Structure 1
Amino acid sequence: MTEKMKKAAGKGKSLAGEFREFIMRGNVMDMAVGVIIGGAFQKIISSLVDDIIMPVISLLTGGVDFNNKFVVLDGGDYATLEAAKEAGAATLNYGTFITVVINFVLMALVIFLLVKFMNNVSNKFAKEEAEAPATTKICPKCKSEINIEATKCPCCTSDL
Structure 2
Amino acid sequence: MSVLSEFKTFAVKGNVVDMAVGIIIGAAFGKIVSSFVADMIMPPIGLLIGGVDFADLVVVLKAAEGDLEAVTLNYGQFLQSILDFLIVAFAIFMGVKVINRLKREEAAAPAKPAAPTKDQQLLSEIRDLLKAQQEK
CA-CA distance at 1:88 after TM superposition:
2.2
Specify the alignment match of 1:66 in structure 2.
54
Specify the alignment match of 1:29 in structure 2.
17
Aligned length: 113
Unaligned runs of 5+ in 1: 1-12, 78-85, 133-160
More helix by share: 2
Aligned positions of 1:7-156 closer than 5 A: 13-76=1-64, 88-130=69-111
The amino acid across from 1:90 in the alignment is: V
Coordinate RMSD, CA, aligned: 2.3
Specify the alignment match of 1:155 in structure 2.
none
Q: Name the % identity.
A: 47
CA-CA distance at 1:26 after TM superposition:
2.0
Q: Distance in 2 between matches of 1:37 and 1:60?
A: 33
TM-score of the two chains, using structure 1 as the length reference: 0.63
CA-CA distance at 1:76 after TM superposition:
4.5
The amino acid across from 2:76 in the alignment is: G
User: Relative contact order (C-alpha < 8 Å, sep 6+): which is higher?
Assistant: 2
Q: Distance in 1 between matches of 2:56 and 2:68?
A: 15
The amino acid across from 1:106 in the alignment is: I
The amino acid across from 1:34 in the alignment is: G
The superposition leaves residues 37-91 of structure 1 with CA deviations (integer Å, 9 ceiling, x where unpaired) of: 10111121112101111112112212121100112221349xxxxxxxx962222
